[in-house]
Amino acid sequence: MDEFLAGEDKAELADILEVVYAIRDLKKIDREHLERLRKKKVEKRGGFKRRMGNHRILIFAKRRGLAERR
């Protein structure tokens, strides 16, 4: 995921989806069921969009020496 966020290569995002789909298939989780679970969690706790934005800001700052690296 860091590779995608750092470079925004759409092929990396496709790889992430493939991993999710493979796990879903391995665990025999129905696609619609997984989507219902995802929506329920977003309603309850909020989504990742805000947190992903914060992650991008941190990557940007680290690249420019404005934040400590772990």
Taking only the tens of pLDDT, the chain with its 70 residues reads 667 666 767 888 888 899 999 999 999 999 999 999 989 988 887 776 666 666 666 666 676 676 555 5
- CA 35 to CA 20: how far, in whole Å? 12
The alpha carbon dihedral of 57, 4, 51, 47 has a sign of positive
Question: Has residue 68 been placed in a domain?
Answer: no
Evaluate if pTM is beyond 0.75. Answer: no
The number of distinct structural domains making up the chain is: 1
Question: Has residue 18 been placed in a domain?
Answer: yes
The parent domain of residue 18 ranges over: 2-63
Question: Has residue 69 been placed in a domain?
Answer: no
Question: Has residue 49 been placed in a domain?
Answer: yes
Q: Which contacts qualify for 31-37: CB closer than 8 Å, 24 or more apart?
A: none
- CA 55 to CA 49: how far, in whole Å? 10
Which pair of structure tokens corresponds to residue 17? Answer: 């989806």
